[in-house]
Amino acid sequence: MELFGEQKRCLDCLVSSIEQLGGRVEIAKLEQIAELIIQTMRGPWRYFHTSEHIFEVGGSVDPIEVLAALFHDLVYVQVDQGVGFNISSALCPFVKEVRSQLVIRDEAELPNDAMYQLVASVFGFIPGQILSPFAGQNEFLSAIIAGKSLEPFLPASTIAQITACIEATIPFRGVSASGLRAIELLHQRLVSVNRDFNLGWSDAETAEIVKRSVRLANRDVENFASPNSSNFLDNTWNLMPETNHELSNVNSYTVGGYRRSLQKMEGFLNFLKPELVFQHFMQEPDDEAYTNLIATTRHNLAVAKLYLGVKLITIAILEALAHRLGRDIPLSTMMGELRVPGFKTSVLEDYLPDKQSAYPLDSQLQKEVLDLLEIGRNQESPYDIKNSPVSTFIIKSIGFAETEKFLDKAKEFFAGHLASEDFLSYCDPDVVETISSGVMKLFESRKTALGKVKLAHNVLS
């Protein structure tokens, strides 16, 4: 079978890495694995966790890192709405579904499978354990598939190292009850795995395995420390439709649906501590590099939180106005459809004034966020424009100083603790009047466009 594009690239990565590791290469079987990986990564809801992502995470230097990256996001239950048919057969002997949760089979049900035992030991998972999407479920299941797929080609010692890399990509874990970080706990388990499975690693080799795992895990989240906050927001916008599939219905997703995506992301980023993003073990990376990663992440999170806060205020006003029409109004009804080349349609921003800022900016952070709102992120997304003209109008009208109180009121409205008209009465009346007037002018433009169709029909008749 002749492969092209991403499948050919994936196959090349598999063959080259296994050859470098002294493994056995069987092209026909590796072609099947490459097809499995790429088909899965092309799932309809994958916007960020795509085949391009696995190639970026793996790099091109270390064959173990390359192989771990190819498999590390193969299972993503929340995004794919379950486990794909093509990969489920590899998991069914070890995992079952109980009341909509995935659970490791009891000891009596589990087959006597040395590779599975190795993977489970690296993760520290036990028979009967309920798997959590937020505590390694996807990574564990991906590692099982990696182990079983690579078992014919590589020794257990090498697969254990690949598994360690995948385990390290479980994100955002805090310090354990024993006071140890997740990467330190992984090191402890690898010491035990080395002994129990007779893998033959020295203490220094075990430490290097953990350092390699840190390198891979940090590349997996390197976007958080992007030197350009716009790049960070671009990837944030790619993540949102993975967990809110309504956004894939361009021009028909609702005001509330868009708002829930913003709200979920804003809540997550407010919860996230920069220190939980990147791993650090025995000077990998060195202290200065690690400190810079954390500082840049803290800045990007601050930008994103303020940016999303302003976007939430904007959508709150639009949602409250939409309640005058109904409870489930498409956002395109209120703002106009996304413009496409060769097709001119009116949008809400056409009817907003070109306003100068009424309040001075107090910080570089505010300037950066205003630029992101006014000029835009670096990239358009399939479901949204990159700049935010309505948000820009609002923030130039009310200033950043009011955003925190305003956002608190918006969240009361979202939670149903504040009626839509009460929320609008809290807002700046000129802002509400300008936006509502703009929406009405947008409606008038549609009425006029329909009238032209009717006039053309009468002329032809």
Give residue 456's pLDDT.
Answer: 52
- Arithmetic mean of pLDDT, 28-42: 93
**DSSP bridge partners of 98:** 101
112: burial class by Cβ within 10 Å (0-12, 13-18, 19+)? exposed
Give the confidence band of 283 by pLDDT, cuts at 50, 70, 90. very high
Both structure tokens of 61? 């230097």
Express each pLDDT in 207-260 by its tens digit. 999 999 999 999 999 999 999 999 999 988 888 877 777 777 777 889 999 999
Phi first, then psi: give them for residue 97, nearest 5 degrees. -105, 130
Phi first, then psi: give them for residue 152, nearest 5 degrees. -70, -15
Q: HSE, CB side, 13 Å, CA atoms: give it for residue 382.
A: 17
Give residue 188's pLDDT.
Answer: 98
Higher pLDDT, 459 or 209: 209
401: burial class by Cβ within 10 Å (0-12, 13-18, 19+)? exposed
Give the distance from CA 185 to its chain's centroid: 26
Are the C-beta atoms of residues 279 and 353 closer than 8 Å to each other?
Answer: no
Whose CA is closest to 257, among 332, 331, 308? 331
Whose CA is closest to 14, among 76, 48, 75, 58? 58
Phi first, then psi: give them for residue 314, nearest 5 degrees. -60, -50
The chain-wide mean pLDDT, for the chain, equals: 91
Give the confidence band of 457 by pLDDT, cuts at 50, 70, 90. low
Whose CA is closest to 304, among 256, 360, 373? 373
- Arithmetic mean of pLDDT, 30-57: 88
Give the confidence band of 4 by pLDDT, cuts at 50, 70, 90. low
Whose CA is closest to 40, among 7, 3, 66, 18? 7
Are the C-beta atoms of residues 352 and 389 closer than 8 Å to each other?
Answer: yes
- Arithmetic mean of pLDDT, 382-393: 89
Express each pLDDT in 128-147 by its tens digit. 999 998 899 999 999 999 99
Position 355 pLDDT exceeds 70? yes
Position 24 pLDDT exceeds 90? yes
Both structure tokens of 418? 């504040």
Are the C-beta atoms of residues 159 and 150 closer than 8 Å to each other?
Answer: yes
User: Long-range contacts of range 223-227, CB-CB < 8 Å, 24 or more positions apart?
Assistant: 224/274, 224/277, 224/278, 224/296, 224/297, 224/300, 224/301, 225/277, 225/278, 225/292, 225/293, 225/296, 225/297, 225/300, 226/296, 226/300, 227/296
Most confident of 33-42, 76-85, 114-123, 266-275: 114-123
Higher pLDDT, 446 or 335: 335
**Cβ neighbours of residue 51 closer than 8 Å, sequence gap 6 or more:** 6, 10, 37, 38, 41, 42
Q: Is the peptide bond before 285 cis (omega within 30 degrees of 0)?
A: yes
Question: In 3-state terms, what secondary structure has residue 116?
Answer: helix
Q: What share of the chain is helix, strand, coil (3-state, %, to 5)?
A: 65, 5, 35
Give residue 452's pLDDT.
Answer: 65
Position 326 pLDDT exceeds 70? yes
Asked which of 24-33, 153-162, 291-300, 452-461 is least confident by mean pLDDT, the reply is 452-461
Question: In 3-state terms, what secondary structure has residue 284?
Answer: strand
Question: In 3-state terms, what secondary structure has residue 97?
Answer: strand
**Cβ neighbours of residue 78 closer than 8 Å, sequence gap 6 or more:** 133, 138, 242, 243
DSSP 2-37: ---HHHHHHHHHHHHHHHHTT----HHHHHHHHHHH
